[in-house]
Amino acid sequence: MTGNSDLDPTRATNFDIILEHYAPSLAAHMSVGYFNKTLSNVQQEISFAPADREFNGFKVDQVTQMQNLGTGFVNGIEVSIQRQLDFVGLPEFGLLVNWTHQLNTYLETDEGEQTQLPTQADDVVNLALLLK
């Protein structure tokens, strides 16, 4: 693994629309949302064989280095519910459940080719115990 002084930081531009509702009959806070995110300068670890097996003055068979790959695009939905646990005798505690689903994710390389966005899960579930 070697460093890369030409590496640019990844930057994100995100747009969210969220609808929230508190249901008094359930004593629960619910939300559903849509997000659209653009990631510039996506980074990934790349391994390559250097020309003439030489890299920075050293003889090597393979080099592993972080590199910028292009622009990433992600959009999806998010659903959450939050409720105090008073109905089971624990009014000081609450529970938050959140699910995020990626509808569309891809990476557009600098050459205009579309590939899979690296290290991106299709679904993520979060569960949190809350203390009042």
Tokens coding 129: 């115990």
What type of residue sits at position 76? G
Most trustworthy range by pLDDT among 26-30, 93-97, 106-110? 93-97
The distance of Cα 42 from the centroid of its chain, to the nearest Å, equals: 12
User: 58 pLDDT band (50/70/90 cuts)?
Assistant: confident
pLDDT beyond 80 at 16: yes
pLDDT beyond 80 at 51: no
CB 41 within 8 A of CB 10: yes
Q: Indicate the SS3 state at residue 4.
A: coil
Full-model pTM? 0.76
Tokens coding 112: 């205009």
Give me the pLDDT at residue 10, please: 93
Let me know if 8 is exposed, middle or buried by CB neighbors in 10 A (0-12, 13-18, 19+): exposed
Domain boundaries of the chain, sorted by first residue: 12-42+70-131
Q: Which range is least confidently modeled, 14-18, 47-51, 79-83?
A: 47-51
